[in-house]
Amino acid sequence: MIVTNIEYIPGKKITQHLGMVSGNTVRAKHVGRDLMAGLKNIVGGELKGYTELLTESREEAVRRMVAQAEAIGANAVLNVRFSTSSVAAGAAELFAYGTAVVAE
């Protein structure tokens, strides 16, 4: 499965465009992480727990998007976009979407 955020695959010919596919997930970190992040807010710096949270969520969202693409018979997803938002305090939502295609 090829996943890319450009609109074509160099050196390959796209034979079929199968429509939009998407993957989303909402995740939360346990309260210890939230407390650590609250403390970190005082001194600044990277919130490792939340970086991890977002990385996990992004991977999950892409996995689900790819699962949708596979389910409709595509072998590549083009023009992938991500959108992130915090739905509730401490819970992050990650959404990935793109166009499923068949490339040769």
Partner 1 sequence: MGAYENRTVPEGINVSPVHPLKDFAVLLFGVSLSVIAFVIVLALLAGYLVRYVPFSYEQSLVSRAVAPWLEPSTDPLDQQRQRYLQSLADRLSSVMNLPDGMQVTVHYVQKDTVNAMATLGGHVVVFQGLLDVMPNENALAMVLAHEMAHVRYRHPIVATGRGFAVTLALSALAGIGDGVMERWVGQMGILPMLSFSRSQETEADALALESLQQSYGHVEGAAALFEYAAAETPVLSLPTLLATHPDHEDRIRRIQVFAQEHPPAMAPQLQPLPDYMKSKAKSNESQ
Partner 2 sequence: MFELILTLVLLVIGFVFGQIAEKRHFRSIIQREAETRDLLCFNERRIPQDMFSPHVTLVCGSVVVSVDFFKHFVATLRNLVGGRVSAYESLLERARREAVLRMKAQALAQGATSVWNVRVETSSIHQGQRQGIGAVEVMAYGTALVPR
Residues that bind partner 1 (CB under 8 A): 13-25, 31, 34-35, 38, 64, 67-68, 71-73, 89-90, 100-102
Q: Which is nearer to partner 1, 26 or 55 (CB)?
A: 26
| Closest by Cα among 97, 24, 98 to 61 | 24
The answer to whether residues 97 and 23 touch, using CB atoms and an 8 Å cutoff, is yes
- Residue 45 C-beta: closest distance to partner 1, Å: 19
H or E segment to which residue 17 belongs: strand 14-28
Q: Is 40 in the site for partner 2 (CB under 8 A)?
A: no
